[in-house]
Amino acid sequence: MSLKSFLASLWASHIRKKIDKWAQNPITTQEKVFKTLIQQAKNTAFGKDHRFAEIHSYEDFVKNVPIRDYEALSPYIERVKNAEENVLWRGKPLYFAKTSGTTSGAKYIPLTKESMPYHIQAARDAILCYIAQTGKADFVSGKMIFLQGSPILEKKNGILLGRLSGISAHYVPKYLQSNRMPSWETNCIEDWETKVDAIVQETIQENMTVISGIPPWVQMYFERLQAKSHKTIGELFPNFQLFIYGGVNYEPYRQKFEHLIGRKVDAIELYPASEGFFAYQDSQTEKGMLLLLNAGIFYEFVEADTFFSEQPKRISLKDVELDVNYVLIVSTNAGLWAYNMGDTVMFTSLNPYRIIVTGRIKHFISAFGEHVIAKEVEQAIAEALREAGGEVTEFTVAPQVNPSEGELPYHEWFIEFESLPKELSFFASALDKALQKQNSYYKDLIEGKVLQPLKITCVPKDGFSDYMKTQGKLGGQNKAQHLANDRNIVDKLPKI
């Protein structure tokens, strides 16, 4: 074991003990965060508008501060963008993280001097938890790559602006600088395909031990490495030990990754967002990611099934239950208050509090009352691949409510196969049965002859990448949407 590995193991043990301390006192930890947030923001414009000085309990907060999405919060954001101080948080933010928006176009999420350190600390602690549990630390001496957006930042009224991953690139600790790849120059390349080719050129001869990024874009990197070297990734990088990912469920990609790598490697799932770093996988044996309760974020939850009702019930951490699909609501030390993330989560453990991300509250199929969510389609396709074979590059699902005359409606799966199953009809049947197992409403609709079993439409090679390119969303933190309640996406996809 190298000196660097030895020191990493000692540090990992120390950090794990600190994490366990707050994880074992979750409600007290969240109460402290809540009080600190209210106290520090009571003299801001938002705090005065919502009578923070009169908030002494969570119940007071619920009465004074309604749930808002980005569009509803945007009048305050605009004031911050125009260089006004003390609007949502004390002073002015250090950065705006620019993200893809919905009805408002681009979103500008503030990052403050109080919030930014937690983004960096969480990524570090995820790796240290892995070391503490497994005892594996040799990888810290090898090269590490983080596939991310450009670190080039703009300035808007004195506030720096960029993608979260690009902003984070400015905070890589000194002890990782010599290990980190790609080079700064390559990282600054804006065009994603050009950037991936440059990364391949830089890394193909290196001792890569850690690789991190969103699975579909890491897959593109692996495929280009393999095409250039004519080796599996495991042969090319014999010391590659750890894959770190976030943004999408890994399961639909796992089989393809293991084929590209040629063996299994350990993986750590992260849940970072511009709005905050919410959770990371702290255990290789337990399901779910540890919810970060001591990171300047106060969490609320609303049952997804009731979210669009007139007065949905909000609850804090102490009232959550296992296996319930919740919409995630956050208040943060970056100045977001009762903010609807749009993400849905489910608790897999209450001691400690661990979650999985189940999808987006606006991303579902319920054209026939089935309310199928992302978690269900992702688990169904992973199960079908195990049963029927084949490899999938990417997929999305949409309802077909206007089938040919005489046909029942159905769910249509648009799948880009890397390799086709031996029998596509058997794969489709296995997929439909797996989805019925995931969603009882869907099963009832199939058995009741309201829907016919799903149909598969094959997308040609690179079809999803070409579609993402036309939308200006190729690479970086962007990811394909796995289901929708309309056909806006699938109508733009190429078909075989």
| pLDDT (mean) for 410-420 | 95
Answer yes or no: is pLDDT of 101 > 70.
no
- Among 324, 346, 361, the domain-final residue is 361
Same domain, 356 and 443: no
Average of per-residue pLDDT values in the chain: 92
Answer yes or no: is pLDDT of 216 > 90.
no
Residue 71 main-chain phi, psi, to 5 deg: -60, -40
Cite the beta strand spans of 213-325 per DSSP E. 242-246, 266-273, 276-280, 289-291, 297-303
The answer to whether the beta carbons of residues 344 and 329 sit under 8 Å apart is no
Same domain, 428 and 345: no
Predicted confidence at residue 102, as pLDDT, reads 41
- H helix intervals, 169-291: 174-177, 184-187, 192-203, 215-229, 233-236, 251-261
In the chain, the amino acid numbered 62 is V
Which residue would you say has higher pLDDT here, 3 or 427? 427
Q: How confident is the model at residue 220 (pLDDT cuts 50, 70, 90)?
A: confident
Q: How confident is the model at residue 428 (pLDDT cuts 50, 70, 90)?
A: very high
Question: Which one-letter DSSP state was computed for residue 228?
Answer: H
Same domain, 407 and 485: yes
The predicted-structure confidence for 334-378, as pLDDT tens digits, reads as follows 999 999 998 999 999 999 999 999 888 888 888 887 889 888 999
Answer yes or no: is pLDDT of 22 > 90.
yes
Which residue would you say has higher pLDDT here, 157 or 455? 455
Same domain, 458 and 488: yes
The answer to whether the beta carbons of residues 218 and 393 sit under 8 Å apart is no
- Among 361, 384, 413, the domain-final residue is 361
Count of CB atoms within 10 A of residue 77's CB? 21
Predicted confidence at residue 426, as pLDDT, reads 96
Which of 126-135, 212-221, 324-333 shows the lowest mean pLDDT across its residues? 212-221
Same domain, 72 and 130: yes
The answer to whether the beta carbons of residues 364 and 376 sit under 8 Å apart is no
- Per the structure block, which two tokens stand in for 136? 């594996």
Answer yes or no: is pLDDT of 229 > 80.
yes
Same domain, 124 and 155: yes
- What percent of the chain clears pLDDT 70, i.e. is strictly above it? 98
CATH number at 373 reads 3.30.300
CATH number at 81 reads 3.40.50.12780
Same domain, 383 and 471: yes
- Among 312, 335, 361, the domain-final residue is 361
Answer yes or no: is pLDDT of 305 > 90.
no
Q: How confident is the model at residue 103 (pLDDT cuts 50, 70, 90)?
A: very low
| pLDDT (mean) for 193-212 | 94
Q: How confident is the model at residue 495 (pLDDT cuts 50, 70, 90)?
A: confident
Cα angle, residue 366 at apex, residues 365 and 371 outer, rounded to 5°: 85
Which residue would you say has higher pLDDT here, 192 or 345? 345
Same domain, 376 and 356: no
Q: How many domains does the chain have?
A: 2
Q: What is the largest CA-CA distance in the chain?
A: 71
Answer yes or no: is pLDDT of 33 > 80.
yes
Predicted confidence at residue 104, as pLDDT, reads 47
Q: How confident is the model at residue 440 (pLDDT cuts 50, 70, 90)?
A: confident
The answer to whether the beta carbons of residues 262 and 235 sit under 8 Å apart is yes
Determine whether 202 is exposed, middle or buried from the number of CB atoms within 10 Å of its CB (0-12, 13-18, 19+): middle
The predicted-structure confidence for 40-87, as pLDDT tens digits, reads as follows 999 999 999 999 999 999 999 999 999 999 999 999 999 999 999 999
Predicted confidence at residue 100, as pLDDT, reads 65
CA distance 75 to 72: 7
Predicted confidence at residue 444, as pLDDT, reads 87
Same domain, 357 and 422: no
Same domain, 163 and 272: yes
Domain span at residue 8 reads: 1-361
- Per the structure block, which two tokens stand in for 37? 């947030």
Same domain, 275 and 412: no
The predicted-structure confidence for 119-178, as pLDDT tens digits, reads as follows 999 999 999 999 999 999 999 999 999 888 888 999 988 899 998 888 988 888 777 777
Same domain, 338 and 440: no
Residue 417: which H helix or E strand, with range?
strand 410-419
Cis amide leading into 453 (omega within 30):
no
The answer to whether the beta carbons of residues 382 and 467 sit under 8 Å apart is no
CA distance 485 to 37: 37
- Tokens 């959770």 appear where? 279
